[in-house]
Amino acid sequence: MNDKWGRQLFTAGAVLMVLLGLVHALSLIRAPVPANETERQLFHLMDTYRFNLMGSMRSMTDLFRGFSMAFTVASLGLGVLDLTLARERPALLKRVALVNIVWLAALVGIALKYFFAVPLTLQVVALLIFAAAWLKLPSASPDSI
């Protein structure tokens, strides 16, 4: 079986994961600007009110920013890992594509409930690309037997 399409789809999914991480990193560059007095109060409380979180004092801004950074690093890390593996044997790519599918399906489920259209759209497209790669890649090649 020719794995050319599967390999190209896998690489496209990897590039999209890196792009997703880079786009998400843009949100870390500057703080949101409050549109009105209510938002100003909300941002002030999120920044200044601290609570004990298992022995460390954290604000909602700390948590929000930390999770945002973690998502950026996870997307970039998995995308770079996928790009690093893109030239490996097709059976390995198929298994790695499945890991990406499971991870992205979980993210899509979370995004449907808590996020907005841009991250959801990028995650769905990446999920579909990796699913197509998984379908196109052979499970095992005669060389690996």
- Work out the number of other CB atoms within 10 angstroms of the CB of residue 9: 22
Is residue 34 classed as helix, strand or coil in its secondary structure? coil
How does pLDDT run across 54-85, given as a tens digit for each residue? 999 999 999 999 999 999 999 999 999 999 99
pLDDT number for residue 32: 86
Could you report the per-residue pLDDT of 32-51, keeping only the tens digit for each?
899 999 999 999 999 999 99
Please spell the DSSP secondary structure of 47-79, one letter per residue. Answer: HH-EEEETTEEEEHHHHHHHHHHHHHHHHHHHH
For 107-142, write each residue's pLDDT tens digit. 999 999 998 898 899 999 999 999 999 999 998 755
Sequence spans of domains, the chain: 4-30+69-144
Question: What residues pair up with 57 in beta bridges, in sequence order?
Answer: 52
Rounded Cα distance, 118 and 107, in Å: 13
Q: How many angstroms separate the CA atoms of 124 and 37, rounded?
A: 36
Q: What is the pLDDT of residues 4-33, one digit of tens each?
A: 999 999 999 999 999 999 999 998 998 889
In angstroms, the CA 144 to CA 50 distance is 56
What local confidence, expressed as pLDDT, does residue 113 receive? 94
